[in-house]
Amino acid sequence: MNTTNQKHINSNDRNVGIDVGKATLDVCVYETDLHWQDSNTDEGVHRLVKRLKRYQLTRVLVEATGGYERRFVEAACEHDLPVIIVQPIQVRQFARAQGVFAKTDKMDARLIAEYGVKLQPPTKVLASKKVRLIRDLLARVSAS
- What CATH number is associated with residue 56? 3.30.420.10
Torsion sign (Cα): 38, 39, 40, 42: negative
In a domain? residue 117:
yes
In a domain? residue 1:
no
* Residue 64: predicted pLDDT: 92
Q: What is the DSSP letter of 22?
A: S
In a domain? residue 8:
no
Task: Name residue 85's beta-bridge partners.
Answer: 62
The conformational region for residue 99 under phi > 0 = left, psi -120 to 50 = alpha, else beta, is left
Question: For the whole model, what pTM was predicted?
Answer: 0.81
| H or E segment to which residue 17 belongs | strand 15-20
Beta strand residue intervals within 21-115, DSSP E: 24-29, 34-39, 59-63, 83-86
In a domain? residue 2:
no
Q: 66 or 140: whose pLDDT is higher?
A: 66
> What pLDDT digit, counting tens, does each position of 5-31 carry?
454 445 678 999 999 999 999 999 999
* Total domain count, the chain: 1
* Residue 34: predicted pLDDT: 96
Residue 7 one-letter amino acid:
K
Q: 9 or 80: whose pLDDT is higher?
A: 80
Range of the domain at 51: 15-143
In a domain? residue 6:
no
Cα(8)–Cα(15) distance, integer angstroms: 14
> What pLDDT digit, counting tens, does each position of 88-135 carry?
999 999 999 999 988 899 999 999 999 999 999 988 777 666 666 666
In a domain? residue 115:
yes
> What pLDDT digit, counting tens, does each position of 34-59 carry?
999 999 999 999 999 999 999 999 99
Asked if residue 18 lies in contact with residue 44, where contact means CB atoms within 8 angstroms, the answer is no
pLDDT at 4 over 60: no
Asked if residue 38 lies in contact with residue 25, where contact means CB atoms within 8 angstroms, the answer is yes
In a domain? residue 10:
no
* Residue 124: predicted pLDDT: 75
